[in-house]
A and B are shown apart, each in its own frame.
Chain A
Amino acid sequence: MQHEAIIGLEIHVELNCLTKMFCDCPNRPGDEPNRNTCPVCLWLPGALPRFSREALEKAAVACLALNCEIQKRSAFDQKVYYYPDLPKGYQLSQAHYPLARGGWLDVVDEKGAPKRLRIRHIHIEEDVAKLVHELEGRTPVSLVDFNRAGAPLVEIVTEPDIRSPYEAMEFIRNLRTQIRYVGSSECSMETGTMRVDANISIREQGSTAMNTKVEVKNMNSIRHLGDAIAYEIERQKASLQSGEAIVLHTRLWDPEKGVTLPMRGKFEGPCVPDPSVPEIVVSEEWIGRMRGLLPEMPALKTARFQRDYELPRELAVSLAGDRELSDYFEAVTRKSVAPRTAAHWLMTQYLPSLKERQLPIAGNPVTPDRFAGVLLRLEKDEINANAAREVLSRLFESDETPDAIIEQGGYRQVSDASSLETLVEQVLGSHPAAINDYRSGQGKALGFLIGQVMQASSGKANPRRVREILVSKLT
């Protein structure tokens, strides 16, 4: 019997707002414990929540980036549950009237076919406090850190359109790109600014039934998300084959063992309207203003890069997928560097250099201006590719201009005919065998000879000119 998996995701994204959602405390959960607190986010008696406009705006642009429709009216509910990380007894969330509904993201599935995955809704909610379990001497203690309490989150709930771990991973990658683009969050599963839970059920191929689902949590990378879903699908198939019933519950992914383990029965607390935070009412005009805050999104930018810069699709996708990188690329092209050269050098030289040195795109010493300076000299044949790579590397360590480095380092390539002819004569004189090989039709002897000339010039000869001279001498 063939089975297929039905997968839906619930994605919590921490918004990178300056303040928490219902008070003015700094939104920095990583600070020393309980530093960023006040009566409102400690949920002390008498304090009332004050909804942050910044949180609303960051959430709204994230919703628009995921092609959702912002609702003119949305409202907060109290999600009631009792646990030490929520000493108020309820979490402010939007259960009945979410901020946005009906979005989608396009992915390419493992067979290369495009597929549109739908988003059911996106709601805003406050984060709860963090529990830290420690030993004090030999006594186990649980400590509560309120820095995270009241931090602004959005929860993105997909339709159960996903059919494979691959699609889930692609969806999350795409979602991360979109939300990073609008600047609402870093969306890092590793650092916890994005948490992805997967709801998984299986059914016979061709059936339209929705069977009992199991929720899987605790994946802290996109790869683990894929692994956990793959494991859970196999586990459920095995259960079915052995005649075991699937029960609604939550499982935790154990990254060490590579398995999912049962955690608890799935608990859904009641959600009652909160009377203290007023309904969120937004106008068409406000939504338009939020839409106006969106940058050119990756799909449009990719198309433009293909069209205007005549880049191959794959290169355009890679550049456009990162907002800073694409901005950098365009800044380089504005310095009259040929777009293809700029794109190619960015992907093959510049990014690996950054990675090696663990530097960010913004704020590293090699500004678009300086990078363009190297590429322009390359394009004018004043330096060759080897020299350009070295100059680039020196740019990271020095404040000098590319021109100064080229001059001082003697990187300028030798192109004048007389110097090159002298070198060629020397090389030909010491390699008669290679000359014979070339003349007897072994083309690769030419490459050897070019290499020898380059070496003799300490890498500064213009390889194209060297080749021309060699060919004319040998024929």
Chain B
Amino acid sequence: MSGIFAYRDGGSVVSGEGLLKGSSISVQANMSVAGWPTEAGSLALKGFKAIEDATVVKSLRDQGASIVGSTRMSELGLGLCGDEAARAVAEGFSAIALVTEHLGEARLSAAKAGLIGYKPSYGLVSRHGLLGLIPSMETIGILARSAADIATVMAAASGRDERDFSMPVEEVPDFLNGSGQPGIRTLGWIRESAACLETDDRKAFQRCLEGFAKAGLTPVEKSMKEFDLFRTVHQIIGSVEASSSAGKYDGVRFGYRTPSAKNWNEMYLKTRGEIFGPVIKPFLFQGAYYQFMEYDVFEKACRLRSHLMREVQRLLGEVDALVMPAVRRGFDPFEAASVPALYDAFLFTLPANLTGLPAVCFPFDDGGQARCPGVQIIGSRLSDAGLLALAGERMQTTTKES
């Protein structure tokens, strides 16, 4: 239990009236809950307590949810050091777990635990109070047993917050009354992504596609030659943004501070040398390197990001949604102990973070041949409700047939 939570609410867990009446939700240790330790899995924030609730926390509580605790997490939320959030749900501590998505953390955590994991369209949920790392990609992700639970959480959590100016002004999907748009019929699958799978995984993915076809959907083969650029572009832009975001971690006002420094300059240098662990440190170094030494590479990455977004948009003009594998044999996200290993493990999930598109990942099992721990559907911007509806349908079918 102590392995799951960084902090558990000792007070009485009272739930109020509203959409989420009776729902227990765990947050992550980088989401602000007033008075709770908010260390984001990092020495840099050791002892840091949030001053006020994150907007998402407030929204959930306003709709009757009880926030039961914050789960342990990887350093500053980059990747997954373990499956704490998934275990909080699987072992019944909370019905729902929130996980910060930088690379696909919520989706892969769900895939490993047989749960459904969801990443909203960028900007649908306020980031105010989130101790984030990659501001242009990060979102609150959600883990739950059912798509309906996620939709209810989103009905409460989504919507404009005047404290997060990065949220676009747009109409929020109607999560309670379905997608409000025609359902998903055609599913594009990208040849180049499937090619990254080993033979057994590829066969399993193909059987999933056949399973979708049996269920009345139409898989369509698509090509995207730039597929292998997603990870490179994500890494360059992500590391640059992370380097800026982590600039405030210096041990002066909060967090760990080196005990041995002769003057303030040395205090800064030694503290920053000591507070970051073996995965995040090289990542921040890379970001600083692009900032200070190779700015034009960063600019090129930004242009490529726009290009990749247009390409995905083009595909989404031809099909209703994209279907993609999530996990790969031999690349366990929980074991990823270096930046390259991280990017190997999150290869299929990070495109949604880079492009800001919504994605849902759920176990596929039609009771027959088609079985896959996590299959991923990526939709157009704000098609979130439709994606969750599709995932819900598929999972219900699974339950019925099995």
Contacts and interface: CB of A to CB of B under 8 A. Distances in A.
Interface of A: 39, 42-51, 78, 80, 82, 84, 87-90, 142, 269-270, 272-278
A48 B123 CA distance: 13
Contact of B135 (A39, A82, A142, A275): A275
Contact of B166 (A42, A45, A80, A278): A278
Contacts of A88: 247-248
B162 A276 contact: no
Given A46-B129, A48-B128, A90-B244, A278 B165 contact: yes
Contacts of B254: 45
A270 B292 contact: yes
B45 A87 contact: no
B127 A45 contact: no
Interface in B143-176: 162-166, 168
B123 to A, nearest CB: 10
At the interface, is chain A mostly helix, strand, loop or mixed?
loop
Contacts of B40: 45
B38 A46 contact: yes
Which residue of A78, A90, A272 has the most chain B CB atoms within 10 A of its CB atom? A272
A50 B130 contact: no
Contact of B163 (A43, A50, A269, A275): A50
Nearest to B138: A275
A93 to B, nearest CB: 13
Interface string B232-265: 0000000011011011101011100000000010
**Of listed A90, A269, A275, residue having the most chain B CB within 10 A:** A275
> Size range of the interface on B?
35 or more
A25 B240 CA distance: 30
15 contacts: A42-B253, A44-B51, A46-B128, A48-B163, A50-B162, A87-B253, A88-B248, A89-B248, A90-B244, A90-B247, A270-B291, A272-B240, A277-B165, A277-B166, A278-B165
A455 B369 CA distance: 123
B293 to A, nearest CB: 9
B196 interface: no
B285 interface: no
Contacts, number: 85
A468 B248 CA distance: 84
B136 interface: yes
A45 B38 contact: yes
Given A84-B252, A88-B247, A46 B54 contact: yes
Given A46-B50, A272-B298, A87 B244 contact: no
Nearest to B245: A89
A48 B165 contact: yes
Contact of B247 (A89, A276, A278): A89
Q: What does DSSP make chain B's interface, helix, strand, loop or mixed?
A: loop
Contacts of A44: 51, 248, 253
A45 B168 CA distance: 22
Contact of B252 (A87, A270, A275): A87
B131 A46 contact: yes
A295 to B, nearest CB: 31
A270 B252 CA distance: 23
B109 interface: no
A48 B125 CA distance: 14
A274 B245 CA distance: 10
Interface of B: 32, 38, 40, 45, 48, 50-52, 54, 127-131, 135-136, 162-166, 168, 240-241, 243-244, 246-248, 250, 252-254, 264, 268, 291-292, 295, 298, 302
B164 A48 contact: yes
A276 B32 contact: no
Contacts of B52: 39
Given A84-B264, A270-B291, A49 B165 contact: yes
A276 B133 CA distance: 12
Nearest to A142: B264
Contacts of B130: 46
Nearest to B50: A46
A89 B244 contact: yes
Nearest to B136: A275
Nearest to B134: A275
A318 B165 CA distance: 45
Given A45-B131, A46-B131, A273 B302 contact: yes
Nearest to B31: A46
Contacts of A142: 264
A80 B51 contact: no
Most A CB within 10 A of own CB, among B32, B247, B252, B268: B247
B341 to A, nearest CB: 26
B247 A45 contact: no
Given A48-B127, A80-B291, A87-B253, A43 B166 contact: no
Nearest to B247: A89
Contacts of A42: 253
A43 B268 contact: no
A274 B247 CA distance: 14
Contact of A43 (B48, B241, B243, B248): B248
A332 to B, nearest CB: 47
A269 B291 CA distance: 9
A87 B162 contact: no
Contact of A50 (B165, B168, B250): B165
The 9 closest A-B pairs by CB, nearest first: A89-B247, A275-B136, A275-B135, A270-B291, A45-B131, A46-B129, A46-B32, A276-B166, A88-B248
Given A46-B130, A270-B291, 12 more contacts: A39-B52, A44-B51, A45-B248, A45-B254, A48-B165, A48-B166, A78-B244, A87-B250, A89-B246, A272-B241, A272-B295, A276-B127
A410 to B, nearest CB: 67
Given A46-B32, A46-B130, A142-B264, A82 B165 contact: no
A90 B243 CA distance: 10
A276 B291 contact: no
B379 to A, nearest CB: 22
B129 to A, nearest CB: 5
B268 A82 contact: yes
B292 to A, nearest CB: 6
Contacts of B131: 45-46
A276 B268 contact: no
A428 B328 CA distance: 122
A186 B54 CA distance: 38
Given A44-B51, A46-B38, A46-B54, A276 B292 contact: no
A145 to B, nearest CB: 14
A82 B247 contact: yes
Nearest to B129: A46
B307 to A, nearest CB: 17
